Amino acid sequence: MNDSYQLSFRSLLDPNCTYAFPCSAAGQVDMDALSERARVRYLYARTVIGREFTAPCVQPVSVH
């Protein structure tokens, strides 16, 4: 999987909170590659879209 993109969920409750996960350009997250903690957060964010988090968006990750 290409890690030059991330799928970002912004919190509706806390403007300083964003969950971001490596993904493909199409927004597909390889859940097997996530840590257990990241996998739980990813599944949680997907579950509460519209209540606690915005719909996710794919963003390019700048490589330095």
pLDDT tens for each residue of 3-62: 599 999 999 999 999 999 999 999 999 999 999 999 999 999 999 999 999 999 999 998
10-14, long-range: CB < 8 A, 24+ apart: 10/53, 10/54, 11/52, 11/53, 11/54, 12/50, 12/51, 12/52, 12/53, 12/54, 13/52
Answer yes or no: are the C-beta atoms of 18 and 9 closer than 8 Å. yes
**pLDDT in the model for residue 2:** 47
Token pair in block for residue 54: 């915005």
1, pLDDT greater than 80: no
pTM (predicted TM-score): 0.87
The position carrying tokens 């971001």 is 20
